[in-house]
Chains A and B, each alone.
Chain A
Amino acid sequence: MNQVITKRAPFVQAEPSHLNTILASHKITKEDHKNILSILERPPTLAELGVFSAMWSEHCSYKSSRVHLKKFPTKGPHVVMGPGENAGVIRLKDKLCLAFKMESHNHPSYIDPYQGAATGVGGILRDVFCMGARPVALLNALRFGEKSHGKSPWLCEHVVKGIGDYGNCVGIPTVAGSTHFDPSYNGNILVNAMACGILHEDKIFTGSAAGVGNLIYYVGAATGRDGIHGATMASASFDDTKEEEKSAVQVGDPFFEKLLLEATLEVLEKKLVVGLQDMGAAGLTSSVFEMASRAGTGVFLDLNQVPTRTVGMSPYELMLSESQERMLMVVEPKNKKELEAVFQKWDLAYNKIGVITDTKKVEAVFEERLHVDMFVEPLVERAPLYRRPMKPREASPCKSPEESWQTLFFKENLAQMITKLCGGRVAHEAIYEQYDHEVGLRTIISQEGGGASVLEIFEPSCSPQPVGIALAANCLENYCGFEPREGARQSVYKVARSIIATGATPLAITDCLNFGNPEIPEIMWSFSEAVEGIAQACEELGTPVVSGNVSLYNETNGKSILPTPMIGMVGLHDNPVFAKRAVCSGKDFIVYLLSYKEKETNLAASNLWETLKYQLPRQVLTPIQSEAEEESSNFIRSVVKEETILAIKDVDREGVLPSLLRLCQFTGDIETFCEKEKNLELYLAGIVGGYLIALPPFFEESFEEKGKDLQKNKLTKIACVKKEGDELIFLEERISLFSLKDKLQKETKELFH
């Protein structure tokens, strides 16, 4: 393999207008080109140009976001591995660790929702298992356009099918997440996939090309032409003038992924490899450069050895294809035979495609010509770093209606208004019933009622007792649209509260920062603000950011999405078998609201505001009170230990009334204590830092007694529920729950015909 190659592939040298076209199609700026010439000290070959294009794309290099991401707190007593690896790793207990990360697959999912979503799941699973972690849970956070808007039902149906088919076939339960619909996503949907895997602290593998003389093996599915320049596609906006970029969407095969997963874990158990890396965005290129960069070594690749499923692939295509379900493994020559035996057992395509050198270069040969010959360091060190201009967005002029919101609310029939208030979130079951959420036997509660999921992990080799984890992924994008900093802060708290509500303690987060065009100063400003809001919340909650992803250019025809910093959080549960659900029915119970003592309601960007068609005067988001949150989470923790508590559900933007109905699963006889003049806002507006707590009637007195010690929070009795019946009694009107639920389910059916 180490023959001396003297023949080179031709350089890209053309007369200016032609050269400009080539550079433009690779999204390489004039500045970038100058740097390339200076790094190589010669013009690049076509393959090298492709390498720069992919590695310096927004998706791979984070050029617009890197400077801001530095603001995240990334360290903590639980953090074993922070950002920079394939996934973040935290210690749960003893030697039991959890690797987790969230990734976006927004652009491909808009073009081919089934494959885009499926391959998003595949990619994030590989990020986790190539660290040596056995995946135990999947989450997804989805955002679609208005339900009535053209493509939305089709996109939703196929994204959900894609995620379900992939996750179910690989056999990893999809346990939690969130799905929202909003007009701002009409032209750009969001598909953020998160995976969690378990591993032993002393057996964490990294993607490092260590050991000069070690062999590089390719294993998995054969390489085809799918997904070439997927990374560059994800780094640009859509517009009507472009043709559909369907060839840039990767195609996935979950069965192959399952084979690859089992083979990988077997190979790691047998201690046959010293490093591994999955091939994701920018395929072979990014894997090889990242591995070499981490180890400070060089790599010699023989592209002739890459298993292909299409004839006549060029070296350019081989370097950049994003065919799915492939990995690179670094193995010492003595383990070669045993490694190959495992691949054969699992029927995977494999070949030795390279060797680790001490040249500190990546050299790639194809048909006796050298197509890539570059030093690793400059590619990484001299990747573009932008400090894009930022400008605070001007508050859009708000209507100042002549009537108060109360008057507006009562203009329509009460039953209709309540249906509208509840309709913002589609009935969860229709979506999560398409995901196998129980395979693996670890799921204790999954996201019924839209709460967090709790799993019990039992790995005696890592920790003698079972350990509980709570998982959730969500964002309050409407709040972020109003005030990116406070909105992002509230998003982190919201996810934390859904975890605390189960009885768990938040430990760390991963994120997916979905934003519009960073070249627009107001968008860049909102990104920077959101990062600061997240950083603030993470400092306050003690939950460092251990991994994450940035997705920019979520824009179509100049219209950007709402700033959507998706937060994926992991919590530790001491007693997972007794985790609290967010739903309760078939019993008699009382519901209390635990909220701040004052300034606990929020009208700005709330569900109510949206239902009234945004007809409220300019409001400022009611801010989080971090000390009150600390008190309430301690209260919840102490109260959860009482087995008598039936359910706990976090409340925020949606408001008390819709949350109450979801808690009760739209059944029973629900008597509320709402009075028009006294506490209408408490029931209808958004709530900051709130929890609904359901308990049996006999516990009422002792519960109120507990509440007396609260200083920054208060308990308010919200409803009395009887198991027999089908009515909501609100402001002396009786509303049939059956017809309410029926209307909501009809809405959902229209999405999944």
Chain B
Amino acid sequence: MNTSSQIAIIVYPGSNCDRDCERAFKDIFDIDLLRVWHTELSLPKVRGLILPGGFSYGDYLRSGALASFSPIMNAIREHAKKGGSILGICNGFQILTESRLLPGTLLRNSQNQFICKKTKLISSKKDSLWNKVVSEKVLNIPVAHKDGRYYLDENGLKNLEDNDQILLTYENNPNGSVNDIAGVSSLCGNILGMMPHPERAALSNRQASTDGRKILEYFLSRAL
């Protein structure tokens, strides 16, 4: 199956991890991501979208805030409405919460510092597809962020739990996220957002874990 150009990656001026995502998808799944510049007003016909890590517009105001008003945002919303798949990583997650496509908000880390380290994530989602693809209980995936503290009010949290929207939680919370939440999905499950970087735990020759592949695989299974 030629899966080229079925997955797009949105590139903002300050995106840093777009090339990393391209490399991961090419090396592991032989998929060529289609680069879409932030000023585009429409998306090509794709099944899935990736919002990569970085500092989209320099993180002025709040991380991801300006991106939620970017020209491409409407097209992203349309894609989401139609049930298209989206994976937001780090800054991508911030953009999804700022544009209200995912519940919650990402605040400054509780220790008020950037943190780049390996973390152990506990697989929390319970749906059958997730369990099939992400078979491990614990995944080793690194984080690198300053504004990764997830917050949601009590009611919101209850909804997340009731609706199986929590993807992953931290074993040793590195940033003060409420309920140790590292990643969530939308109600329908087509939109995924997480602070850790799965693309950094994917290549096979990095003296590092490859647990990130499972996340990317799950995203692809939903998208394609």
Contacts and interface: CB of A to CB of B under 8 A. Distances in A.
A433 B16 contact: no
A439 B57 CA distance: 18
A630 B137 CA distance: 49
B217 interface: no
A171 B16 contact: yes
B156 interface: no
Given A169-B59, A255-B57, A438-B116, A347 B144 contact: no
B200 interface: yes
Interface in B35-66: 53-55, 57-60
Contact of B58 (A169, A432, A441, A445): A169
Give the dominant DSSP class at B's interface. Answer: loop
A577 interface: yes
A445 B118 CA distance: 13
The interface centre, meaning the residue of B116, B200, B206 with most chain A CB atoms within 10 A of its CB, is B116
B116 A435 contact: yes
A752 B113 contact: yes
Interface string A340-354: 000000110000000
Interface string A408-435: 0000000000000000000001001111
Contact of A171 (B23, B54, B57, B116): B54
Given A436-B116, A438-B200, A577 B205 contact: yes
Given A259-B13, A445-B207, A168 B144 contact: yes
B199 A441 contact: yes
A726 interface: no
A10 interface: no
Contact of B55 (A164, A169, A438, A579): A169
Contacts of B55: 168-169, 171, 254-255, 258
Interface in A614-661: none
Contacts, number: 86
B69 interface: no
Nearest to A454: B207
B24 interface: yes
Contacts of B144: 168, 436, 438-439
Interface in B68-124: 113-117
A444 interface: yes
B58 A255 contact: yes
Contacts of A436: 114, 116, 144
Interface in A170-187: 170-171
Give the dominant DSSP class at A's interface. Answer: mixed
Contacts of B53: 439
A429 B19 CA distance: 27
Given A169-B59, A579-B207, A262 B13 contact: yes
A437 interface: yes
A441 B13 contact: no
A441 B200 contact: yes
Interface in B1-46: 13-14, 16-17, 19-20, 23-24
Contact of A433 (B24, B117, B197): B117
Nearest to A581: B207
A85 interface: no
A440 interface: yes
Contacts of A752: 113
B191 interface: no
B142 A438 contact: yes
B166 interface: no
Nearest to A438: B200
B134 interface: no
A311 B200 CA distance: 46
B206 A258 contact: no
A426 to B, nearest CB: 15
B205 A437 contact: no
A165 interface: yes
A332 interface: no
Contacts of B114: 164-165, 168, 433-436
The interface centre, meaning the residue of A171, A440, A581 with most chain B CB atoms within 10 A of its CB, is A171
A483 interface: no
B138 to A, nearest CB: 16
B188 to A, nearest CB: 31
B207 A253 contact: no
A436 B53 CA distance: 12
Interface string A240-264: 0000000000000111101100100
Contacts of A600: none
The interface centre, meaning the residue of A161, A168, A347, A441 with most chain B CB atoms within 10 A of its CB, is A441
A445 B115 CA distance: 17
Given A169-B14, A433-B113, A441-B23, 7 more contacts: A169-B58, A253-B58, A255-B57, A262-B13, A441-B20, A443-B206, A456-B205
Interface of A: 161, 164-165, 168-171, 253-256, 258-259, 262, 346-347, 429, 432-441, 443-445, 456, 577, 579, 581, 752
22 contacts: A168-B114, A168-B144, A168-B146, A169-B14, A169-B59, A170-B16, A171-B16, A171-B55, A255-B14, A255-B57, A255-B58, A255-B59, A433-B115, A434-B116, A436-B114, A436-B144, A437-B116, A439-B53, A441-B24, A441-B199, A441-B200, A752-B113
